[in-house]
């Protein structure tokens, strides 16, 4: 007969690993956008659709992880961090995956071509947004180390530096977003008006990737402060 450790039962399993797994899947969604746009630039919508399907698969896996974490998140008073804080962090992470799916879905739905004149800047903007999500993942992956050190010592300084770098990446992406909006404005008269409207929406949603990645850093800062 198996013996249950009452202390282990009281504490429950750590929610940090599932949170990190969720963020890993979320970032995969964002990273796949680079292949998606590479395909769209060459008008290869068959390949673009295949990449979109992979984004949706990763987004669905992230959703499953999110649901499982919500269902099994310990309610013990002995949790090292606030249950509410973890749920809010999970929600912010989830927005990144949703934004990645929405970007590809909007493009694919109308088979919108990014104007060649802004394609280079567009990819710089996209890669900046993806890099911001990747930096957020690096920071999230330090959570277990933070717990081991009791949110103190050099590990806190290390994570704070990561968050600073995350903020800088988001600012760079913001700069690219402003530039690409200006260039698109100059091309508006040459493009179908409905496509222009969708391109602005897609630009905004790519920007959301970086914004939500920065918010992940903001939630981590709150955890450090408490």
Distance CA 206, CA 104 (A): 10
Distance from the Cα of residue 210 to its chain's centroid: 7
pTM of the predicted model as reported, rounded to 2 decimal places: 0.89
| 86: its two tokens | 């973890």
From first to last of its 226 residues, what are the pLDDT tens digits of the chain? 344 443 334 344 577 888 999 999 999 999 999 999 999 999 999 999 999 999 999 999 999 999 998 887 766 545 556 778 889 999 999 999 999 999 999 999 999 999 999 999 999 999 999 999 999 999 999 887 776 666 666 767 788 888 999 999 999 999 999 999 999 999 999 999 999 999 999 999 999 999 999 999 988 887 776 6
Share of the chain residues as helix, strand and coil, in percent rounded to the nearest 5: 85, 0, 15
| 3: its two tokens | 């013996």
Cβ burial of 34 (10 Å; 0-12, 13-18, 19+) is middle
3-state secondary structure of 196: helix
């Amino acid at each position: 007969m198996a013996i249950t450790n009452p202390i282990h039962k009281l504490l429950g399993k750590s929610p940090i690993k599932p949170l990190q797994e969720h963020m890993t899947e979320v970032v995969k969604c964002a990273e796949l956008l680079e292949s998606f746009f590479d395909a769209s630039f060459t008008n290869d919508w068959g390949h673009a659709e295949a990449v979109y399907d992979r984004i949706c698969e990763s987004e669905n896996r992230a959703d499953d992880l999110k649901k499982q974490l919500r269902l099994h998140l310990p309610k013990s008073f002995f949790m090292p961090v606030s249950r509410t804080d973890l749920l809010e962090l999970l929600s912010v992470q989830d927005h990144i995956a949703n934004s990645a799916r929405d970007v590809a879905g909007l493009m694919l739905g109308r088979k919108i071509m990014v104007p060649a004149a802004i394609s280079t800047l567009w990819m710089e903007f996209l890669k900046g947004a993806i890099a911001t999500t990747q930096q957020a993942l690096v920071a999230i992956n330090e959570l277990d180390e933070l717990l081991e050190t009791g949110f103190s010592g050099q590990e806190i300084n290390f994570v704070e530096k990561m968050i600073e770098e995350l903020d800088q990446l988001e600012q760079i992406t913001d700069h690219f977003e402003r530039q690409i909006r200006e260039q698109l404005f100059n091309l508006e008269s040459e493009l179908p008006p409905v496509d222009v409207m969708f391109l602005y929406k897609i630009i905004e949603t790519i920007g959301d990737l970086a914004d939500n990645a920065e918010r992940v850093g903001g939630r981590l800062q709150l955890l450090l402060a408490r």
